[in-house]
Structure formats: C-alpha cells, structure tokens
C-alpha cells in the first residue's frame, strides 16, 4: 500500500510540474514563403517558454542562395536545396527577435520556415 501511495504521489508531482518543465512555443509553424519579396517576421520571446529559440529555414526549388538574418547572429548564406537551423539563446524575461530572409538577385524564393522556442 505504501508503494502504491508513493507511486501516486510521484505521478501527481510529475504531472503538476510537466507544464512548466516542458513549456515551449511554436512561433512560425511550417510556413511556406514563395515570393521575390523578403520574408520578415518579429516577435518577443518570453523565457517561460524556454531558453533556446531555433529558427529553421530550407531554400527549396531554387538555383540561387538566400540569406538569413536573425537578431543576435550574423547573416547566414543558404545555398539552393540546403537548410540550416540557427539557435538563439533566450536571456532575461523578454527578448525581441527579428527574422529576415532575402536574396541578392531578385529571384523567386521558395522557402520552408519554422521557429520554435523550447
């Protein structure tokens, strides 16, 4: 009986802390961007959603590179048919993030974009 009560107490504790222990936020959800115009987005991160933001971009169906800029990191070149993930550390209660994907030739971009804070 003591083992069962101990197990029940452990389960209650795990479930009560799970929402904060496994908090995350999807900020850009598997977006497709097909345009000659730049992709731009911005949002404010909150540390309660996690300590890391991953911004993932795939340059699909193109022969030319695109360039990703995320607040706090240098410009990243993404060649045709390549994909990259840029991690950003979340420090402090809130952090403003800007994301921009552009090209230097004016070609039509076909991008897959996902951003998740965890």
Tell me the residue ranges of DSSP E strands in 1-118.
Answer: 25-35, 39-46, 52-59, 66-70, 76-78, 83-89, 94-102, 109-117
In total, how many domains does the chain have?
1
pTM (two decimals): 0.79
Specify if 49 maps to a domain: yes
Specify if 98 maps to a domain: yes
- Contacts of residue 60, Cβ cutoff 8 Å, sequence gap at least 6: 81, 110, 111, 112
Q: Is 81 exposed, middle or buried (0-12, 13-18, 19+ CB in 10 A)?
A: exposed
Domain hosting 68: range is 24-117
pLDDT in tens for each of the 118 residues of the chain? 555 545 445 554 454 444 445 589 999 999 999 999 999 999 999 999 999 999 999 999 888 999 999 998 899 999 999 999 999 999 888 889 999 999 999 999 999 999 999 9
Specify if 5 maps to a domain: no
CA-CA distance, 86 to 81, in Å (whole number)? 17
């Amino acid at each position: 009986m003591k083992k069962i009560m101990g197990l029940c107490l452990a389960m209650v504790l795990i479930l009560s802390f799970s929402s904060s222990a496994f908090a995350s936020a999807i900020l850009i959800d598997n977006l497709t961007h097909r345009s000659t115009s730049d992709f731009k987005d911005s949002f404010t991160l909150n540390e309660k959603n996690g300590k890391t933001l991953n911004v993932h971009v795939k340059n699909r169906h193109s022969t030319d590179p695109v360039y990703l800029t995320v607040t706090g990191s240098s410009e990243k070149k993404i060649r045709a048919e390549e994909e990259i993930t840029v991690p950003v550390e979340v420090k402090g209660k809130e952090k403003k993030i800007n994301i921009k994907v552009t090209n230097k030739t004016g070609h039509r971009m076909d991008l897959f974009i996902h951003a998740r804070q965890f």
